[in-house]
């Protein structure tokens, strides 16, 4: 049994498959309500630099169900705008530095949790997750990533839990497709990165399908290949969506941005307009081996996937969203509970 108390939970990539399995085994126990778990007297402080429906509610309700006190701060509304540049003269719009906020909040809370999306101008700057890294550097309380530029590890936990449910706990070698999908905006890479790593931890036979120019970050793909190989799975990449869908047992849809067009959304949208349709519809799902359909939500209906796909019995998006609650409760207990 691994012990993750006191550690930050910033990336799936930082954790061993066994450590993630331990969290999920507890999540399954919690979902079956076999035991009462308590974090009575603990406080979780969540800072949102960006909007959320599932992450905020599932953490707030999960902490409450465990007897802990959740405190939610929307940065720029409930809390001051926060500066993260080191050594800067703070004569602009941010009255407080993360260095001070993180140290203060660590004296109040048993854990901090932060959502901060990338600024989407310069990937070299965004990929180091400056806000999350600054909290990690200065907070003495453990820190949870609620989605950043590079990963959404809590989503990845729930996604692996859902894969285990779909495949009756035998995910090894199962044919899983991570498919790019259209969107009106260039979206971050965090969810596809975390899903790829989660499916690799499950030892799945993963196909990443995307148009040219939409490669995931090479270091994440390389690590996913390594993790998949260690767990009896593999990762391959194709630009042919329909070929990828043939025989698939799970289709995970997600839109993500193009790294070569990073910071140039208008050029990226012009390029996207030249692509054939990547919307996932009933005809494409009919190519699969009755695949379950997954998506992290929110989803733009009839753009990412059709109503026919989303309202079908094989769509598990609500089960997947519910698993956020169980997986995160298990994470909080593992991070903050008694041994
Ligand atoms: N999937 C997810 O993180 O949803 P929210 O953005 O609503 O939190």
- Per-residue confidence at 148, pLDDT binned at 50, 70, 90? very high
Pocket of ligand 1 (CB under 6 A): 52-55, 147, 155, 296-298
What is the average pLDDT value for the chain, to the nearest integer? 97
For 282-323, the pLDDT digits (tens) are: 999 999 999 999 999 999 999 999 999 999 999 999 999 999
- pLDDT for the residue numbered 35: 77
What CATH number has the domain spanning 12-151+324-336?
3.40.50.1370
Position 339 scores a pLDDT of: 61
CB 232 within 8 A of CB 259: no
pLDDT (tens digit per residue) in 178-191: 999 999 999 999 99
Q: Which of 48, 49, 52, 189 to mutate to test the pocket of ligand 1 (most atoms within 8 A of CB)?
A: 52
pLDDT for residue 1: 67
pLDDT tens by residue, 195-213: 999 999 999 999 999 999 9
Every domain of the chain and the residues it spans: 12-151+324-336, 155-320
Q: Give the pLDDT band of residue 130 (cuts 50, 70, 90).
A: very high
pLDDT for 232 beyond 80:
yes
Query: Measured in angstroms, how far is the CA atom of residue 339 from the centroid of ligand 1?
Result: 30
* DSSP states along 146-213: SS-SS--HHHHHHHHHHHHHHTTT--TT-EEEEEE---SS---SHHHHHHHHHHHHTT-EEEEE--TT
44 beta partners: 70, 111
Which of 28-37, 46-55, 304-313 has the least mean pLDDT?
28-37
How many angstroms does the Cα of residue 89 sit away from the middle of ligand 1? 34
Residues facing residue 79 across a β-bridge = 75
- Which of 161, 82, 69 lies closest to 115 in space, CA to CA? 82
Give the residue whose CA is nearest to atom 6 of ligand 1. 52
* Cα of 90 from ligand 1 centre, angstroms: 32
The CATH fold of domain 155-320: Rossmann fold (3.40.50)
Judged against a pLDDT cut of 90, whether residue 247 lies above it is answered with: yes
Minimum CA distance residue for ligand 1 atom 3? 55
pLDDT of 263 reads: 95
How far is the centre of ligand 1, averaged over its atoms, from the C-alpha of 298 (Å)?
7
Domains 12-151+324-336 and 155-320 share a fold: yes
Cβ distance 227 to 194 under 8 Å?
A: no
Q: Hey, whose CA ends up nearest to atom 4 of ligand 1?
A: 54
Ligand 1 atom closest to 321 (CA): 1
How is residue 182 written in tokens?
């259209």
Give residue-wise pLDDT tens across range 103-127: 999 999 999 999 999 999 999 999 9
pTM confidence score: 0.97
> How many Å lie between the centroid of ligand 1 and the Cα of residue 294?
14
């Amino acid at each position: 049994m691994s012990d993750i108390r006191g550690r930050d939970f910033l990336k799936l990539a930082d954790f061993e498959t066994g450590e993630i399995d331990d969290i999920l085994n507890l999540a399954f126990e919690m979902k079956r309500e076999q035991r009462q778990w308590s974090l009575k007297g603990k406080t979780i402080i969540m800072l949102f630099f960006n909007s959320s429906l599932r992450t905020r509610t599932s953490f707030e309700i999960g902490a409450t169900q465990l007897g802990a006190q959740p405190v939610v701060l929307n940065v720029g509304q409930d809390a001051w705008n926060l500066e993260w540049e080191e050594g800067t003269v703070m004569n602009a719009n941010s009255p407080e530095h993360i260095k001070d906020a993180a140290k203060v909040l660590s004296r109040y809370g048993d854990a901090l949790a932060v959502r901060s999306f990338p600024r989407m101008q310069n990937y070299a700057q965004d990929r180091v997750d400056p806000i999350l890294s600054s909290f990690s550097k200065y907070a003495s309380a453990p820190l949870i990533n609620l989605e950043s530029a590079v990963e959404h590890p809590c989503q990845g936990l729930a996604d692996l839990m859902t894969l285990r449910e779909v495949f009756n706990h035998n995910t090894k070698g199962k044919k899983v497709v991570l498919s790019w999908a259209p969107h009106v905006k260039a979206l971050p890479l965090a969810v596809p990165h975390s899903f790829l790593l989660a499916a690799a931890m499950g030892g799945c036979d993963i196909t990443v399908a995307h148009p040219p120019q939409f490669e995931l970050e090479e270091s994440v793909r390389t690590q996913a290949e390594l993790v998949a190989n260690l767990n009896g799975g593999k990762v391959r990449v194709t630009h042919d969506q329909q070929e990828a869908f043939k025989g698939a047992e799970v289709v995970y849809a997600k839109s993500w941005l193009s790294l070569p067009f990073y910071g140039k959304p208008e050029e990226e949208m012009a390029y996207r307009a030249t692509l054939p349709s990547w919307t996932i519809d009933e005809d494409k799902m009919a190519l699969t081996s009755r695949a379950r359909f997954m998506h992290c939500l929110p989803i733009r209906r009839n753009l990412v996937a059709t109503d026919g796909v989303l309202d079908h019995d094989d769509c598990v998006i609500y089960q997947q969203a519910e698993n956020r609650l169980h997986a995160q409760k298990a994470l909080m207990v593992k991070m903050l509970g008694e041994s």
